[in-house]
């Protein structure tokens, strides 16, 4: 159709994403039949420049794992938050090139706000990728100390913001987990179709004082959340964060004239 502007999502894999149906419903509510939203599976981010050139009518993108940091090498400019976080999840095409923004931090902060208590002073963030970087940045901005947990332990230091401690899963113990009453899972492990997958987090050390957040939203209850809930923890999936970061992405695209 002539005059149609395309929006979409790049990542790998993308088949599980609810973003296309979420934005399709938004376009219908707004009567915007001049817009489409598609999921583009891009296994290798080095193909992004050629893909972009071949799809000149794509004017805005969301970015999901594993490209939230790697795609930055191909962008012309960054929004202030994206530059501070070191990861992007929303792109706008301009005449000069792509501009990257981060709406993950915005969505995450608002999704957990109703669940935070004054006991949630310290957090364990499971993962060191782009989503983890946004979560740690958001937590720091509301005064919560955060440490990252990685399969490769301290050798992962440098992937995140300066001064963020990184520990290995083998260093987790009951006292450490009790000292960190907020736990946020930021990897794709446990996402459909591999719903029984779980990072090596000892959920038996969780208790009623913990808030456990899994950014995965498909399935709505991951194995991590199921086990955490069985230990008495309050649990939250990534559905609200998805909705909120998408709202902010839409605002950014609208401001750019989409």
Contacts of 251 (CB under 8 A, 6+ apart): none
Among candidate residues 114, 111, 134, 104, the one with its CA nearest the CA of residue 252? 104
In three-state form (DSSP H/G/I as H, E/B as E, the rest C), the secondary structure along the chain is CCCCEEEEEEECCCCCCCHHHHHHHHHHHHCCCCEEEEEEECCCHHHHHHHHHHCCCEEEEEECCCCCCHHHHHCCEECHHHHHHCCCCEEEEECCEEEEECCHHHHHHHHHHHHCCCCCCEEEEECCCHHHHHHHHHHHHCCCEEEEEECCHHHHCCCCCCCCCEEEHHHCCHHHHHHCCEEEECCCCCCCCCCCCCCCCCHHHCCCCCEEEECCCCCCCCHHHHHHHHCCCEEECCHHHHHHHHHHHHHHHHHCCC
Catalytic residue (choose from 5, 68, 117, 159): 68
Among candidate residues 125, 63, 149, 123, the one with its CA nearest the CA of residue 99? 63
> Could you give the CA distance from residue 5 to residue 12 in angstroms, rounded to a whole number?
23
68 classed as catalytic: yes
**Residues carrying an active site annotation:** 68
């Amino acid at each position: 159709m002539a005059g149609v502007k395309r929006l979409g999502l790049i990542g790998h894999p993308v088949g599980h994403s609810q973003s296309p149906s979420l934005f399709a419903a938004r376009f219908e509510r707004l009567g915007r039949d001049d817009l489409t939203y598609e999921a583009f599976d891009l296994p290798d981010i080095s193909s992004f420049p050629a893909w972009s050139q071949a799809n000149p009518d794509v004017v805005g993108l969301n970015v999901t794992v594993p490209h939230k940091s790697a795609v930055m090498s191909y962008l012309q400019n960054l929004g202030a938050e994206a530059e501070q976080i070191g990861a992007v999840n929303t792109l706008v095409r301009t005449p000069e090139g792509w501009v990257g923004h981060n709406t993950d931090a915005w969505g995450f902060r608002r999704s957990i706000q109703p669940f935070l208590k004054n006991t949630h002073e310290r957090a364990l963030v499971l993962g060191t990728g782009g989503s983890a970087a946004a979560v740690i940045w958001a937590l720091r901005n509301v005064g919560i100390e955060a440490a990252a947990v990685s399969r490769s332990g301290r050798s992962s230091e440098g992937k995140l913001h300066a001064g963020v401690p990184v520990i290995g899963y083998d260093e987790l113990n009951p006292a450490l987990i009790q000292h960190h009453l907020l736990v946020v899972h930021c990897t794709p492990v446990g996402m459909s179709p591999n719903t029984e997958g779980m990072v090596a987090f000892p959920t038996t050390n969780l208790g009623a004082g913990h808030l456990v957040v899994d950014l995965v939203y498909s399935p709505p209850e991951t194995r991590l959340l199921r086990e955490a809930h069985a230990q008495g923890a309050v649990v939250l999936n990534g559905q609200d964060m998805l909705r909120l970061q998408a709202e902010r992405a839409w605002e950014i695209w609208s401001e750019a004239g989409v």
